């Protein structure tokens, strides 16, 4: 269990004890106000994460070009375009 989930669980237990209609959504909202992130273990961790980030992201253009064209075959073995010409 991470530090964040422990904090949210504690916040939920306290809030649900006071109000039976208290929801997890409310606990997460309240916990975000009081939670303080811990610093990372060393300086090497953020540098490694930032170096990998630019390579992982693909441009929108490259994702669009990979879309497959229609391979649907209509009645009589004719393609979609030939069917429209009638």
Whether 31 maps to a domain, the answer reads yes
* pLDDT in the model for residue 28: 95
Question: Would you place residue 36 in the very low, low, confident or very high pLDDT band (cuts 50, 70, 90)?
Answer: confident
* pLDDT in the model for residue 53: 53
Give me the number of domains the chain comprises.
1
Per DSSP, helices labelled H in the chain are: 3-18, 24-34, 44-56, 60-65, 80-84
* pLDDT in the model for residue 21: 95
Whether 19 maps to a domain, the answer reads yes
Q: What digits encode the pLDDT tens for the residues 45-67?
A: 444 455 555 566 667 766 666 65
Whether 51 maps to a domain, the answer reads no
For helices 3-18 and 24-34, the axis angle rounded to 10 degrees is: 120
Domain residues for 11? 1-37
pTM recorded for the entire structure: 0.44
Question: Would you place residue 73 in the very low, low, confident or very high pLDDT band (cuts 50, 70, 90)?
Answer: low
Whether 23 maps to a domain, the answer reads yes
């Amino acid at each position: 269990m991470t530090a964040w989930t422990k904090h949210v669980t504690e916040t939920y237990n306290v809030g649900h004890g006071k109000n039976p209609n208290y929801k997890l959504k409310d606990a997460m909202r309240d916990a975000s106000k009081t939670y303080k992130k811990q610093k990372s273990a060393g300086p090497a961790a953020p540098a490694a994460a930032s170096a990998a980030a630019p390579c992982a992201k693909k441009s929108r253009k490259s994702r669009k070009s990979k879309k497959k064209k229609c391979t649907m075959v209509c009645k009589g073995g004719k393609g979609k375009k030939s069917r429209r010409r009638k």
